[in-house]
Amino acid sequence: MSDETSYLAIRVTRDRRIAERYSLIMSSKEIPHEIIDLPDGLTLYVPAAEVERAEREIAQYEAGERERRSQREEPRYYPDDIPGLLLTLSLLALFHALTYLPPGRSFWLDTGRASASRILDGEWWRALTALTLHGDAGHLFSNLVFGGVVLWALRRLLGSGRVWFLVVVSGALGNFL
């Protein structure tokens, strides 16, 4: 601090980020200042002639921050689309039932199941097609029940499109790996 100008302490904080913010405010308004680390905390000093202006600038900043915090959106919940979820899960169950009709299970499994050797031989789409196949009714039922609960919860937060995209991508990556 300059010996010629008398500096006064106007703010004290223990939070370095807040002290840096005060310094940024002062710098942006070209108010001479210093932050000194004292036992009570980081202390903002400004020239006595600039105290009023510095206080006003900090008050304006803090008022703006309070307003921004009050206007922050609450988490956005997408409406529950239980009928859409049930329809999708029902279509998966129907497809599972159709895989047992002639030409039968062997056709569907041979055509679409994830086979490491076939995927490595270039049939990458098997990582996707295998997502629609289930080993038996128990496998299907557990996917529908537990997957349905997870999908329902995630759809409320992320929306349908994002969740189905994540399901397909993560499932395909899992099969691919």
Per-residue pLDDT tens for 13-59? 999 999 999 999 999 999 999 999 999 999 999 999 999 999 999 99
Sign of the torsion angle spanned by Cα atoms 127, 133, 135, 140: positive
Angle at 149 between CA 145 and CA 155, to 5 degrees: 135
- Report pLDDT for 31: 96
- Report pLDDT for 71: 77
Say which DSSP state 3 is in. Answer: S
What is d(CA 130, CA 168) in angstroms, rounded to the nearest whole number? 11
What is d(CA 97, CA 118) in angstroms, rounded to the nearest whole number? 25
> Are the C-beta atoms of residues 149 and 141 closer than 8 Å to each other?
no
DSSP string, 20-72: HHHHHHHHHTT---EEEEETTEEEEEEEGGGHHHHHHHHHHHHHHHHHHHHHS
* Closest listed residue to residue 171, CA positions, set 117, 83, 101, 92: 92
What angle, 0 to 180 degrees and rounded to 10, lies between the N-to-C axes of helices 82-98 and 137-158? Answer: 150
For the whole prediction, is pTM greater than 0.75?
no
Strand partners for 38: 41
72-104 pLDDT tens trace:
766 666 666 778 888 888 988 888 888 877 766
117-176 pLDDT tens trace:
888 888 888 888 888 887 788 888 998 899 888 888 888 788 888 888 998 899 889 888
What is d(CA 124, CA 59) in angstroms, rounded to the nearest whole number? 60
What is d(CA 7, CA 79) in angstroms, rounded to the nearest whole number? 57
